Structure 1
Amino acid sequence: MRWLKPNLRNSLYGLLGNPVTPSDSVLETGTEDIRECMLQALGESGSRHFPQLTRRIRYANDIQALWYLRGDLMAALASMHGEVKAREKIASITAQFQGLLPGGMGSRPSPLVG
């Protein structure tokens, strides 16, 4: 006889915060929404000034690739609009990644922001 039945074990893991992986359709929709937001944040003039970044965002394979492109997008936005506006735009984009990234990936609270 098993000590913990599978359903009980799964519910315990759920209570402990074991994240549920999103379905493929949710992941694909979220990825495309984030991609569009990143391209909109860059804008038309940003696309002309940063064509490589635009291509990298447009052709990113998955959600992780878009996650790692946030730093490059931040640099581009900061050079166009200043760091304060760039941080605001990146923060709104980062919030959209909630629940779509694998465990262990995500932004940590910064000691510099407070």
Structure 2
Amino acid sequence: MWPISSPQKLGEDAEAAAMERFRGLMLGLLEGDPGEKAAMLNLRIRCAATLQSLWFMRSEMMALLAAEHGEAEARHRLDRISAVVRDQLPSGLRSRPSPLARDA
């Protein structure tokens, strides 16, 4: 007999999967950065318990990436990985389009 899953459980599984994918993508953006700030952010990303906590770490990620690649490229990289979880976030946490977007 197949286990019965409630709609809420299926939603939780989708959010957890999106969170782990987002975590992996964020860690991928930090690869190769030997700095202390990158190491601290790496640890915080690995220990984050919620999708929202990962989402709020994007500003720190932006600062690190902008210092290395420039602000426009950093925003492009963050926007690309943020698309993975955008639908799982409450509407108040979703980012508005940036004037730095490449297609603007």
* TM-score bracket for the superposition, by shorter chain length: 0.7 to 0.9
Deviation at 1:101, TM superposition (A): 0.8
Distance, in Å, in 2 between the alignment partners of 1:54 and 1:96 is 19
Distance in 2, Cα, partners of 1:102 & 1:82: 29
Larger radius of gyration: 1
Q: What is the letter of the counterpart of residue 71 of structure 1?
A: S
Query: Does the Cα contact within 8 Å between 2:75 and 2:100 map onto a contact in 1?
Result: no
- Give the aligned partner of residue 36 of structure 1: 24
Which residue pairs with 1:62 in the alignment?
A: 50
Indicate the RMSD between aligned Cα atoms, in angstroms: 2.1
TM-score by length of 1: 0.71
TM-score of the pair, normalised by structure 2? 0.77
Runs of 4+ in 1 over 6 A off after TM superposition: none
Unaligned runs of 5+ in 2: 1-7
- The alpha-carbon deviation at position 77 of structure 1 amounts to 0.8
| Stretches of structure 1 lacking an aligned partner (at least 5 in a row) | 1-20
Q: Identity rate of aligned residues, in percent?
A: 37
Count of residues paired in the alignment: 93
